[in-house]
């Protein structure tokens, strides 16, 4: 009887426990650790510079803010009405409007109002009225939604989509992006949960361009034990990759950009795309869109001379000056109709 119980204990408890322990050690030896998120701190004075939006996910709260990233990068940002970052005085509202679409790179996350490349370009092209519609966390889906609203209200001369390889995962709201957004942003500030309670993030996962919405509360959840078990972390990462593989990110981006182009062409608005960084994926997208005025800016987000690294990877004032110089001849040709 005792022998039988020993056998049961071995096969039901001891051997499985040894197997799990060996697998855990093997995964750690192979470089698979537990789940972690790099600490990232955002403080704004006053609070609530960025708030949740029921259709766009995030929006700019009107007002002037002092923003501090990781207790090291400090900048002043002024948010106007209509989800735009304010460009300092010098533009004439009666001039033809140029809508600059994009994410935090266009917004100028990490630099003052007069240092981001949109403000620098405004100085170079005083006969145009630049509008900075860049918002942190946006992908091309939000840019499409912003354009649809802008053409109802404004007379636009030109539209520039400032595209990044990061937008590919944002457009379909991949599991990787969901995890980065929920877990990273959640830990950046104690007020995030209250600010994002009503937020829903838009995404498109097919060329029918149907916009779906994901509530903040159900954006992403770690499996139990992921923070202390390499096995659980490995399993959830594998599950995330399976889900992400169902989305053709390049095709979705191409279809969204085609829709933006069509909206501009129907209204006689010049359109250009500035690809901020160059990756194999963006090069493939460029080849698939030969008819579009396209500029490869070739920005290196690992270059400490052009970014706020090691504290933050967004372009520094020097980086924005670099991008503005890259864009000047491109915009000249675009707005001259060349």
d(CA 300, CA 286): 18
Identify whether the C-beta of residue 274 lies closer than 8 Å to the C-beta of residue 333. Answer: no
d(CA 132, CA 150): 12
| Confidence check: pLDDT of 15 > 50 | yes
* pLDDT category of residue 338 using cuts at 50, 70 and 90: very low
At 32 the pLDDT is 76
How confident is the model over 225-277, as pLDDT tens digits? 888 888 888 899 999 999 999 999 999 999 999 999 999 999 999 999 999 99
Provide CB contacts within 8 A for 16, sequence distance 6+. none
- Does the predicted TM-score (pTM) go above 0.85? yes
At 186 the pLDDT is 66
* pLDDT category of residue 116 using cuts at 50, 70 and 90: very high
Q: Which two tokens stand for residue 38?
A: 């790099």
């Amino acid at each position: 009887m005792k022998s039988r119980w020993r056998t049961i204990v071995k096969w039901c408890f001891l051997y499985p426990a040894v197997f799990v322990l060996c697998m855990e050690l093997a995964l750690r030896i192979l470089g698979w650790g537990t789940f972690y998120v790099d600490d990232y701190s955002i403080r704004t004075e006053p609070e609530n510079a960025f708030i949740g939006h029921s259709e766009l996910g995030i929006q700019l709260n009107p007002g002037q803010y002092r923003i501090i990233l990781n207790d090291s990068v400090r900048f002043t940002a002024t948010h106007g009405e209509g989800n735009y970052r304010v460009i300092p005085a010098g533009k004439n509202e009666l001039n033809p409007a140029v809508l600059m679409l994009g994410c935090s790179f266009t917004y100028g996350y990490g630099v003052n109002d007069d240092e981001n490349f949109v403000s620098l370009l405004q100085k170079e092209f005083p006969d145009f009225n630049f509008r900075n519609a860049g918002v942190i966390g946006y992908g091309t889906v939000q840019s499409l939604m912003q354009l649809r609203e802008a053409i109802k209200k404004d007379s636009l001369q030109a539209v520039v989509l400032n595209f990044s390889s990061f937008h590919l995962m944002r457009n379909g709201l991949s599991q990787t992006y969901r995890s980065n957004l929920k877990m990273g942003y959640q830990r950046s500030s104690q007020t995030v949960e209250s600010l994002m309670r009503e937020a829903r993030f838009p995404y498109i996962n097919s060329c029918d361009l149907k916009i779906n919405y994901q509530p903040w509360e159900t954006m992403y959840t770690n499996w139990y034990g992921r923070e202390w078990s390499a096995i659980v972390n490995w399993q959830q990462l594998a599950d995330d990759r399976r889900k992400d593989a169902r989305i053709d990110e390049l095709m979705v981006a191409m279809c969204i950009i085609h829709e933006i182009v069509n909206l501009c062409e129907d209204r006689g608005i010049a359109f250009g795309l500035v690809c901020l960084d160059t990756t194999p994926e963006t090069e493939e997208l460029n080849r698939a869109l030969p008819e579009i005025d396209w500029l490869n800016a070739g920005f290196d987000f690992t270059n400490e001379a052009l970014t706020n690294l090691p504290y933050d990877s967004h372009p520094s004032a020097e980086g924005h000056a670099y991008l503005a110089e890259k864009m000047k001849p491109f915009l000249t040709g675009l707005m001259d109709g060349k």
